[in-house]
Amino acid sequence: MSDPARWSSPEMRARLRRRHAAERRFRRLGAGAVGLAVFALVVLLASITWSGASAFVRTQVALDVDFDPAIVGAVSRPDAETEVDWGALVRDALSREFPGVSERAERRALQGLVSRDAREVVQARLLADPALVGRAERIWVPASADVDALVKGHLPRDPDAGRFSAQELGWIAELEQRGLVRRVFDAGFLTSGDSREPELAGVGGAVVGSFLTLLVTLAVAFPLGVAAAVYLEEFAPRTRATELIELNINNLAAVPSIVFGILGLAFFLGTLGLPRSAPLVGGLTLALMTLPTIIVAARAAILAVPPSIREAARGRGASPLQVVVHHVLPLALPGILTGTIIGMARALGETAPLLMVGMVAFVVDVPRSFTDAATALPVQIYLWADSAEPAFRQKTAGASVVLLGFLVLMNATAIALRRRFERRW
């Protein structure tokens, strides 16, 4: 029996105090590490959101456009879109705002205050209402990228900075004083495709391309990964060949993603001749990369099902396939879905494999099928970040916000699915 006096001795009490102090220090260090990680995450998200918020807002300039019949008189004919000089309507509207501008260089600088998309806005307004011929109407058109950056505060209002002359800054200030400049939500950033002009570029094409690519990845990787995990965990004999397969699967989960891009380039494009830059090829390549992750997660979820479930099902006369389909898989489904969505989230953020299969192309149109040329959100961010145009910096941050939103949504979906299908025993 232990001696009670020994536990109440000064030496033992000192030892207990040291032990308790060490435990408190360890808890503080753990809490500090978690707090530091949360702080770094908040700072990162806040900085990206703060930088990318301006990408969702665009600057517009109001122009009193006079739809002169001498210019737009052919609007009622089928070939009106090619005959009408829509740019002349914009130039005339700007000239009326600043009648003192007469030199060619000044007129060119004045026209540079608005985007090239101003002509399309004026054209769409008149084609929607041909009754405007012979009348004037105020139309809000997009400002140029430099004016947009100046109004948002990203460029200094200093002629010595070299971006704007003193005369141009005076024009912009006069427009603002007259209430002809405003900032509105830029829905086109989320719906339109890429463009050489920063004020017209959007992530709509990249979002659709990522969605189509992930659909292909999920359709290929999920059934193959679950089937492989079920076979290896429930039916495969324990031989050296099976152990070798399991070892290779675990190794493939750690292979750099660019290796899968090289494989997709050589096999899907070189051997099968599938269309380059298509979501079909990108999805198949990402499926190869995601497949080992899904297999490992599915095997862990299947292994976590208690053996008593299998034994009870066999005792009731169920076949091995019925045991798996009706008992094991439903119980393992939360873990399988969680691992799958985490693997898909990793695939969403990958760039290197998509670069290898050509999804780095400049794509203006939003893809409509799995074989159309497309790009993806990570690739779009890479392209804009590599651009020399300063206005693309805000677009890069805005696209990063959209990508982070996708990742948060996918992880939230994983948590919701796990709670929805989780069963306790």
Per-domain residue ranges for the chain?
56-186, 204-421
State pLDDT tens for residues 132-165: 888 888 999 999 888 888 888 888 888 877 778 8
Helix (H) / strand (E) containing 101: none
Q: How confident is the model at residue 2 (pLDDT cuts 50, 70, 90)?
A: low
Helix (H, G, I), strand (E, B) or coil at 184: strand
Query: How confident is the model at residue 75, as a pLDDT?
Result: 58
204-421 is classed CATH 1.10.3720.10: yes
Compute the average pLDDT of residues 304-331: 86
CA trace torsion 50, 55, 61, 62 (10° rounding): -100
Closest C-alpha among 76, 93, 78, 181 to residue 132? 76
Is the pLDDT at 78 greater than 50? The verdict is: no
State pLDDT tens for residues 187-226: 888 888 888 888 888 898 899 999 999 999 999 999 999 9
Query: How confident is the model at residue 38, as a pLDDT?
Result: 93
DSSP string, 108-171: HHHHTTB-THHHHHHHHHHHH-GGGTT-EEEEEEEBPHHHHHHHHTSS-S-GGGSSS-HHHHHH
Closest C-alpha among 221, 164, 174, 168 to residue 340? 221
Is the pLDDT at 131 greater than 50? The verdict is: yes
Q: How confident is the model at residue 100 (pLDDT cuts 50, 70, 90)?
A: confident
What values do phi and psi take at 212, rounded to 5? Answer: -65, -40
Compute the average pLDDT of residues 312-321: 85
Query: How confident is the model at residue 182, as a pLDDT?
Result: 92
State pLDDT tens for residues 283-303: 999 999 999 999 999 999 999
- Rounded CA separation 289/219 (Å): 14
230-261: b (≥16 Cβ within 10 Å) or e: bebbbeeeeeeeeeeebeebeebbeeebeebb
The pTM assigned to this predicted structure is: 0.82
The edge-to-edge listing of strands for the beta sheet with 136-142 is 136-142, 57-66, 181-185
Q: Which of 9-18, 219-228, 405-414 has the highest mean pLDDT?
A: 219-228
Is the pLDDT at 19 greater than 80? The verdict is: yes
- Rounded CA separation 89/92 (Å): 5
Enter the DSSP assignment of 327.
I
Query: How confident is the model at residue 304, as a pLDDT?
Result: 87
Is the pLDDT at 255 greater than 90? The verdict is: no
Query: How confident is the model at residue 326, as a pLDDT?
Result: 87
DSSP string, 204-257: HHHHHHHHHHHHHHHHHHHHHHHHHHHIIIIIS--SHHHHHHHHHHHHHTTS-H
What is the overall mean pLDDT for the chain? 85
Structure-token match 């306790």, residue found: 424
- Rounded CA separation 18/10 (Å): 12
Closest C-alpha among 254, 342, 339 to residue 303? 339
Helix (H, G, I), strand (E, B) or coil at 425: coil
Query: Is the CB of residue 74 less than 8 Å from the CB of residue 129?
Result: no
